[in-house]
Amino acid sequence: MKRYILLAATALTLAACTNDEMSAPGDKVALKVNAAIGDAQTRAAGTQWAQYNQIGLSTVEGTATWYANVCYEWDGNSFTTPPESAIYFQSSETVAFHAYYPFTGKPGTTVQPLTGVSTGATNQTAENQSLIDFLYASGATASKDIPTVSFTGEHAFTHRMSQITLTFIEGDDMDLDGSWSYTLGGLKMQGTFDPQTGIAKADDVAAAPLTINLTEVQPTSGKYTAPSLILFPQDAASIDLIVTVGGQDYTATLSVKDGKLQSGNNYTWQVTVSKTDVKVGGAEIKGWNKMEGGDVTATL
C-alpha cells in the first residue's frame, strides 16, 4: 500500500510519522507497541499490516505520562517511531492507551473527527479501501517497568465499519463471464469517524447508489465472490440490489438482520442470477463478525 493516498470526497488527511516538537528525554524508558486486530494480526479486508501502515497512539489523561496522537509505523515486524518522536514514561505510574488506524492529523495534537468521508466506488478499490477500514483499540496499559503496550486480546484493534460481501451464482441460462456490474441502493455513503472514541457513523445525508463494475470476471464452477465493500454502520432494514448483465437489470432485495449494518460485522449474501429471476439467500455475518444473509432471487 502506498504511504500516502488521496481519498476522493473526504476530509481525510494523512500525516507523516514525525513530531519535531518531541525530543528523547535522555534516560527515559521508551514505549514498545504490540498490536493485533481481533484474534489475528490482520487488517482491512483480511490482509496483514502492510509496510508503512500508521497508527495513532494517545495516553489516557490522568498520569504524568501524557502524549497525544503519536504516530507509530509498521516496519514489517512491529510498530516503531523515531526516538525523537517516541512515547517515554515520565514516572513509574501505569499508563492506559488508546489507538486508531489510519493515522491522521498532527502529532502532539488531539486528533479531531474525520468528517465527510466517502465510501463511494472510488474508495472501494483495493488500493484505497484499507484507508476507510477504520480501526480502534483501547484499555491496554504499560509502565516504565513493563514498557510494552499490547493491543491484543480484549484490547485488540477492532473494525469500526461494516462490511458487505456478495457471492454471485450463475442460475438457469446465465453466463457471468465478461463485464457486468451490481448496484446497491438505499445506503448512506458518507460518514464520520472519531479517532478519540472509535465511533464510526453514517452522516444524516440522502442515500446514494453504489455501483461496482466487474470486468473480465471468471466465475469458478458457476460461482463468484465479489470483493467485500466497507460501509458506515447505519440503519438499513433492507438494501436494494440490481445486477446488470448484458444491459439487462435483475432486481432483488437484501434483508438485513436486526435492521441495521453494525460496526465490525461482515454481512454476506448468496445471489443466484438466472434469465428469469435472481434469488438471494438469508444474510450471514462472517469474516469480521459473521452475519449470514442467505439466498436471494433477483427478478427482471
The domain boundary, picked from 102, 136, 159, lies at: 159
What is residue 54's predicted lDDT score, i.e. its pLDDT? 94
CATH of residue 155's domain is 2.60.40.2620
Residue 173 belongs to some domain of the structure: yes
Q: Residue ranges of the chain with pLDDT lower than 70?
A: 1-26, 39-48, 282-294, 296-300
| Domain range enclosing 189 | 162-297
Looking at the structure of the chain, the number of domains it has is 2
Q: What is the pLDDT of residues 127-163, one digit of tens each?
A: 899 889 999 999 999 999 999 999 988 998 999 999 9
Residues 199 and 216 reside in one and the same domain: yes
Give φ, ψ of 259 to 5 degrees. Answer: 70, 20
Residue 23 belongs to some domain of the structure: no
Q: What is the pLDDT of residues 27-40, one digit of tens each?
A: 789 999 998 887 55
Residues 172 and 274 reside in one and the same domain: yes
Query: What mean pLDDT, rounded, does the chain reach?
Result: 85
Residue 54 belongs to some domain of the structure: yes
